[in-house]
């Protein structure tokens, strides 16, 4: 399996575990917005039909994340923000997954779908190849990251315990991986996967410009009110204080204790210090040094 295919596999599994969240109150409902159909095609002519609402009067923006960085939380918060402000939110990755289509099968020709005004494009768990030559100059971008050492720990428990098994080939794939993980210690797993996740981090280097806002999981997980305010300010959007508080309350979820069988297993930063051997952490510090420094993480 190629590095790109492995990244796509991670992203697809992440999409599957996105739990539906009940809608906000009726004031944030957007059921009456006019819908139109947009059809895009994969390189092997698989058809994906997207429901696209009329554009809002905003500058379009993209939202990216690293798997296990709070990506589901970011998706849910943006969906709530967009619902309340009548901004159409579109995720090719999630829609493709629902139709059993691999996002990596799309080519650059679908980039004409991304327009400069009116939309939120979200749900990305890695930088897809179809965006390699896309001009992001006039788009604001959000990127959510997390200490890659904690990401690797979280991914181990997620793959081993908490991911539900979907139907079909993906379920068989995850079931086989889960069996293999029974014989793999966490230290061996994180060392094996470190380069794979490094590739996902480095894939986002091409969007690093003045229109990118980076959020770190460690800075936002206990400060969701401030986080949402910063998102709104960056995107030049306005929202009432009560609505912000309502969104925060819906997503301020903290387990009383660690639950390895839950998608929200443990939210406290620094988990790698408790789960990994010192020699493993030292090895990760070496292999991930450039990423740790770039995003302001200490070399333990």
| DSSP per position, 208-250 | -STTEEEEEHHHHTT-HHHHHHHHHHHTT----HHHHHHHHHH
Phi, psi of 121 (to 5 degrees): -110, 115
Number of compact structural domains in the chain: 1
Residue 260: pLDDT over 60: no
Provide, rounded to the nearest whole percent, the portion of the chain with pLDDT above 90: 64
Assess if residue 194 is contained within a domain. yes
- pLDDT of residue 171 exceeding 70: no
Q: Spell out the residues 6+ positions from residue 48 whose beta carbon is closer than 8 angstroms to its own.
A: 39, 40, 41, 42, 92, 95, 96, 99, 101
Q: Which residue has the higher pLDDT, 237 or 300?
A: 237
pTM reported for the whole predicted model: 0.85
Residue 173 lies in a domain: yes
Residue 42 is classified by DSSP as: B
Task: Give the domain range for residue 77.
Answer: 3-294
Give domain status of residue 39, yes or no.
Answer: yes
107 within a domain of the structure (yes/no): yes
Q: How far is CA 283 from CA 174, 183, 241, 288, in A?
A: 27, 21, 45, 8
Give the pairing type, strands 140-145 and 120-124: unpaired
Residues in contact with 87: Cβ distance below 8 Å, sequence separation at least 6, in sequence order: 56, 58, 81, 118, 119, 120, 237
Compare 141 and 178 and report the one with higher pLDDT.
141
Q: Is residue 289 part of a domain?
A: yes
In a domain, 300, yes or no: no
Q: Give, in order, the Cα–Cα distances in Å from 111 to each of 17, 85, 245.
A: 27, 25, 35
pLDDT in tens, 5-46: 555 555 555 544 444 454 555 556 544 445 688 899 998 898
- At residue 97 the predicted structure's pLDDT band, cuts being 50, 70 and 90, is confident
Q: Which of 14-18, 118-122, 179-183 has the highest mean pLDDT?
A: 118-122
Answer for the pair 123, 94: CB distance below 8 angstroms, yes or no: yes
Radius of gyration of the chain (CA): 19
Q: What's the token pair of residue 35?
A: 């819908």
75 falls within a domain: yes
So what's the pLDDT on residue 292? 98
pLDDT of residue 4: 56
CATH number of the domain within which 70 lies: 3.40.50.300
Q: What is the mean pLDDT of residues 77-105?
A: 91
Residue 98 pLDDT level (bands cut at 50, 70, 90): confident
* 26 within some domain: yes
Average pLDDT over residues 148-177: 75
Indicate the average pLDDT of the chain.
85
């Amino acid at each position: 399996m190629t590095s790109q295919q492995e990244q796509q596999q991670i992203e697809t599994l992440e999409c599957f575990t996105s739990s539906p969240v009940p809608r906000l109150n009726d004031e944030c409902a957007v059921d009456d917005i006019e819908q139109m159909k947009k059809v895009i095609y994969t390189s092997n002519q698989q058809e994906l039909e997207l429901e696209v609402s009329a554009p809002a009067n905003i500058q379009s923006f993209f939202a990216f994340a690293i798997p296990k960085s709070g990506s589901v939380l970011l998706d849910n918060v943006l969906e709530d923000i967009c619902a309340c402000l009548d901004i159409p939110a579109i995720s090719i990755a999630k829609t493709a997954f629902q139709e059993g289509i691999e996002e990596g099968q799309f080519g650059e020709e679908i980039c004409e779908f991304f327009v400069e005004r009116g939309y939120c494009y979200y749900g990305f768990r890695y930088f897809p190849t179809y965006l390699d030559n896309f001009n992001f100059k006039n788009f604001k971008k959000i990127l959510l990251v997390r200490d890659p050492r904690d990401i690797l720990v979280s991914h181990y428990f997620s793959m081993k315990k908490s991911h539900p098994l979907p139907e079909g080939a993906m379920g068989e794939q995850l079931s086989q991986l889960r069996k293999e993980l029974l014989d793999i210690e966490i230290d061996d797993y994180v060392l094996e996967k470190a380069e794979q996740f490094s590739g996902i981090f480095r894939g986002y280097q091409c969007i690093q410009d003045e229109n990118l806002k980076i959020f770190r999981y460690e800075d936002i997980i206990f400060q969701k009110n401030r986080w949402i305010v910063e998102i709104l300010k960056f995107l030049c959007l306005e929202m009432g204080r009560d609505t912000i508080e309502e969104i925060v309350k819906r997503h301020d979820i903290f387990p009383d204790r660690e639950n390895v069988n839950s998608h929200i297993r443990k939210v406290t930063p620094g988990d790698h210090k408790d789960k990994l051997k010192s020699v493993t952490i030292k090895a990760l510090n070496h292999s991930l040094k450039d990423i740790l420094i770039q995003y302001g993480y200490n070399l333990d």
